[in-house]
Structure 1
Amino acid sequence: MDGQIALLLAQDGLVNGAVYALMALALVLVFSVTRVIFIPQGEFVAFGALSMAMMQAGKTPATLWLLLALAAAVLVVEAWRYKRGAPVDWNSALLWCVAMPLAACALVLLWKPTGLAAQAVSTLVLITPLGPLLYRLAYRPMAQATVLSLLIVSVALHGVLVGLGLLFFGAEGSRTPAFSEARFDIGGLQITGQSVVVIVVTLVLVIAMFQFFGRSMVGKALRATAMNRVGARLMGVPTELSGDVSFALAALIGAVSGLLIAPLTTIYYDTGFLIGLKGFVAAIVGGLASYPLALGGALLVGQLESFSSFWASAYKEVLVFTLIIPVLWWRSLNSRHVEDEE
């Protein structure tokens, strides 16, 4: 391996690591607020990329009908809860079940966007509400369940969404045009404009998330819920709405990731699962709690995948997922067990 090849591999690892960083941030956010290990996070990636590909082909994205079906189901559940005397926040319910689906219908069916930027915005409006709706249907009724029970629900939901992806988009893959066709030659290293877009958008999202959690009241409420759910509830933080916000951000991040990688590789209905798993490996490096460590883990996963594809391409996935073993071993040595506390 010469220096030129090493630079090319490092560039690919940086781009892949940026996408995995977004996945890791979403997984850490959801887990810290709701205790849900959100296995279907990768499905937002595939749904976002393939929905945009369908719009570019002049078709109505099938995810629109999924959104409307989920919105109707959540409205029925909320009405049933209200009839039983349970408190219902109708403002948030109407936002996710009526306002957002209507906005998605207006953009996709009436406006019918043709430009790349307009289609990207329409895709984000279409995919983002899926997060809170899935949370209200699948996870909120089990808010007090164990982490293992929530994980089982996540695995089941992943299977359902992958099956729906096959039904909606078929087995054929799709790609979308790049957001930038520019090419840069720096010291003999060819850098594509799309790679720059991926890195810049990732940096913007990471900075925006840190500003959101550090300065906004909603972000501080999410942090309080993540640190002490009972204490946050006693201080007046609506913890159920915190679940809505965390899943909405996760869906938004997943959709953005799908739009970023669709010009770089062919996306299939089940592509998101592998991307989500690699983001999960990065989140594990951060202990499913630390955002900076998760970002560092994502860059490590990206570089490991890139260089292992050169040295041992047949085993690159094995090497990436094997990274979990030493991390878990190290954490087991530096964490207190329940038996020790007792």
Structure 2
Amino acid sequence: MDLSIAGILALDGLTNGAVYALLALATVLLFAVTRVIFIPQGEFVAFGALTLALLQAGKVPGTVWFLLALAIAAAVSDVYNGVRHHQPAARIGKQVLRTLGVPVVVSLIALWAAPRGFPLVVQALLTLALVTPFGTLIYRLAYEKLADASVLVLLIVSVGVHFALVGLGLYFFGAEGFRNPSFWSERFSAGPLTLNGQTVIIFAASLALIVLLWLYFEKTLSGKALRATAVNRLGARLMGISSNHAGRLAFTMAAFIGALSGLLIGPTTTIFYDSGFIIGLKGFVAAVFAGLSSYPLALVGALAVGLLESFGSFWASAFKEVIVFSSILPVLLWRSLRDPHGEEH
């Protein structure tokens, strides 16, 4: 291996690591706020990439019908809870309208826009609008009633949600893989390295989102409320911060990050209905490097995972996944020895 090959591999690793960083940040965010180890984070990636692919083909993506089904289920839950707690009909009606409003409007826009062949950027924005509401709806239907359950119970629910989303992905998108067109096809040369426009977009979008997340958590009231919930759920409740609202917001942000990651990675590799699991798992490995608690360490861990994957594929391409996932073992051993913990109550 010479320096030119090492540079190419490093660039490829950092590009993938930038996407893994977003997924790692989403994983850390969800665990910090809700204590959910969200296995299906990668499914948001696959749904984002494949929804855009179907819009490119002029077809109505199955995510439209899935979004409507989730919204209707959540609205039925609103009615049931309202009747159970003897709430006024007007209040129940307002809650149902809030639940159905965004999903119905976005779905109608998607049904109208799908066959019209709008530009790629418009279709990408529509994809984000379709996939992002999945976050709060999945949290409401699968996790909200179990918010105070143990981490193990929440993990079991996550595994169930993962299998459900993978099955639905196969039904919505089929077994065929899709590769989306690049958002920017320009190429730049720097010695032996060739930097394409999509790579620039990946780095720029990842950096911008990381900065925006930092500003959100440091400078806004709702961001500080999320941080407070992450530090002490009971204390946040006593201060009037709704843990349910915090959970819904965290899942919405995670769905947005996942969908954006799908748009970024879609032009660089072929995405299948089940590709999200491996991609999300690499983000999870990076989050474990950070102990599921530190955003800067999650970023560093994601870049390390990307580099390890890239150089591992050069030296032993058949074992690159084994190399990446095996790297988590010494990290877990080190953290277990460094931070011994008692039994969860």
Between the aligned partners of 1:94 and 1:215, the Cα distance in structure 2 is: 31
Contact 2:67 2:107 in 1 (8 A): no
For the 8 Å contact 2:68–2:107, the answer to whether it is kept is: no
When normalised by structure 2's length, the TM-score is 0.95
| Aligned counterpart in structure 2 of residue 128 of structure 1, from 108, 127, 132 | 132
Deviation at 1:99, TM superposition (A): 2.1
User: What is aligned with 1:192?
Assistant: 196
Task: Describe the SS at the equivalent of 1:174.
Answer: coil
Distance in 1 between the 2:44 and 2:104 partners?
A: 20
Kindly provide the amino acid, as one letter, of the partner of residue 105 in structure 2. A
The Cα shift of 1:105 comes to 2.0
The one-letter code of the counterpart of 2:71 is A
Q: 1:333 pairs with 333, 337, 342, which one?
A: 337
Deviation at residue 188 of structure 1 after TM alignment = 2.5
Partner AA of 1:165 in structure 2: G
Counterpart check, 1:229 vs 2:238: no
CA-atom RMSD in angstroms: 1.7
Equivalent residue number for residue 74 of structure 2: 74
> Which residue of 1 is the match for residue 3 of structure 2?
3
Q: Distance in 1 between matches of 2:312 and 2:291?
A: 24
Contact 1:175 / 1:262 at 8 angstroms: preserved in 2? yes
AA aligned opposite 1:82: G
Whether the aligned pair in 2 keeps the contact of 1:103 and 1:125 (CA below 8 Å) is no
Q: Does structure 1 residue 49 correspond to structure 2 residue 49?
A: yes
Rounded Cα–Cα distance in structure 2 between residues aligned with 1:308 and 1:44: 26
Deviation at 1:323, TM superposition (A): 1.1
User: How far has the Cα of 1:202 moved from its partner?
Assistant: 0.2
Structure 2 vs 1, CA of residues 44 and 93 (structure 1 numbering), >3 Å: closer, same or farther? farther
Of all paired residues, the percent bearing the same amino acid is 57
Q: Which one is further off, 35-44 or 108-117?
A: 108-117
Deviations 1:294-315 (A, max 9, x none): 0000000000000010011111
Residue of structure 1 in register with 2:151 after alignment: 147
SS across alignment from 2:188: strand
The residue aligned with 1:178 is 182
How many residue pairs are counted as aligned between the two chains? 340
Question: Partners in 2 of 1:181 and 1:287 — Cα distance?
Answer: 38
Tell me how far 1:91 sits from its aligned partner. Answer: 6.6
Aligned to 2:30: 30
Name which of 200, 203, 216 aligns with 1:212: 216
Does 1:13 pair with 2:40?
Answer: no
SS in 1 for 2:297: helix
Paired residue type of 2:169: G
Q: Residues 225 and 94 (structure 1 numbering): CA distance in 2 closer, same or farther, change over 3 Å? A: farther
> 4+ residue runs of structure 1 moved beyond 2 angstroms?
86-95, 110-113
Shift in CA distance, 159/73, structure 1 to aligned 2, threshold 3 Å: same
Verify the 8 A CA contact 1:54 1:60 in the aligned structure 2.
yes
Q: Note if 1:108 corresponds to 2:96.
A: no
Which amino acid in 2 is paired with 1:226? A
CA distance in 1, matches of 2:254, 2:132: 8
Give 1:89 deviation, angstroms.
Answer: 9.0
Paired AA for residue 326 in structure 2: T
SS in 2 for 1:319: helix
In 2: Cα distance, 1:92 partner to 1:16 partner: 41
The CA distance in 1 between the partners of 2:164 and 2:337, in whole Å, is 37
Q: CA deviation at 1:93?
A: 6.1
Unaligned stretches of 5+ residues in structure 1: none
Partners of 1:219 and 1:91 in 2: how far apart? 26
Cα gap change, 1:127/1:29 in structure 2, threshold over 3 Å: closer, same or farther? Answer: same
The answer as to 2:263 corresponding to 1:262 is no
AA of the residue aligned to 2:178: S
**Which residue matches 1:238?**
242
Aligned equivalents of 2:94 and 2:35: distance in 1? 25
What 5-or-longer segments of structure 2 have no aligned partner? none
